[in-house]
Structure 1
Amino acid sequence: MKCLLCENLSFKIICKSCETTLLTPSFYKREVEEGFYNYSFYSLSELEDLLSSKYYFFGDKIFNILAKLSFEKFASTFHYNNEIISIPIDDHSRHEFSHTAILAHALNSKNIKAQYNVLKATNIVKYAGKDKEYREKNPRRFKLTNIYDKTTILCDDIITTGATIREAKKALEKKNNKVLFSLTLADAKL
């Protein structure tokens, strides 16, 4: 097989050389609302083609590599006194796998445990290429199940305007959950 990025022969879809030279994550912080932050590992320009792999059968392999390089590495160094639940935003599997579930799973560690199928959008709307006004006029209307009085981290692939993350945070807080922050692979504003 050939590496997707450099096209050299590789046993993996992205070779080790490209992982270390092209996919070394940085750490970006953005205030989503007063006192609440999102942390991203890449700018959108660094990952745009790879993020679109979520629409293809091989996308799970790409997301597993990106999750290992970023979310898993973050979890190995993050410490908190209580147990935290990582919650993927709308972890549907319309394309054979859930890219947000892969990200949340990579956070599993000593005090972070992923929970799946608990935060679902009841309004299935695509935000790709849409502006802030469209996103705010067409909320996802999240439904939350089985999570009460917990400390959580939200997980998504990309932050654009922050509308989805703010809406997901509000859904969790309605059931007395504390949302520490959100994590995304990429930030569209960078």
Structure 2
Amino acid sequence: MTSNTPADAADPVLHALLPAVLPADAYSRRVVEALRAAGRSVTAHALPGPHPQVDPSAILAADIALARLPDGATVLLDGAALPNLAAALPIDDRRLRFVALVERLRWTDAGLGAEEAMARWHLEQGALALMRLVVVPDAAVAATVTALEVAAERVVQAAPEAVGILLTRLSALRPGLQASPQALPPSGDEP
């Protein structure tokens, strides 16, 4: 099911699908707040369920939220939610512009059994393959993402306090939207 309403090219609203229970210092939450502080409008959509465990309520909520978004919308996805979003993403990846905010890959979590780690690896690899951009906090996470065969040019290193390059890359995803240089905060995140 897809929306028939295209996103207005002049509408800079971003949509963020985030776990409902997310620590205040979570990378995705801090990036969303930094984007808001830089003047971008971000509408957050909360996903229920225990993340990163796959949960039917989160899958259903993701399906409904994505189906309601206008064609062409840019959607920020919390990395911890990717396993719950993996099934919904292929349906909408041509219609929506997906951007993952990945603090760390969950298949690398300590204490996972080999089977659980491999299941998460496959879910994250498949989901990341559908992203227009994968935003990470540092070079170590960037290396882990590119090890999953994500093209290096799609990986953006952006500290939450320095989202200038991210604003530029997000604007490039939406033809007709250009970030004005005065709207961009100084950024130390350029390579």
* TM-score, normalisation: structure 1: 0.33
User: Which protein has the bigger helix share?
Assistant: 2
User: Which protein has the bigger strand share?
Assistant: 1
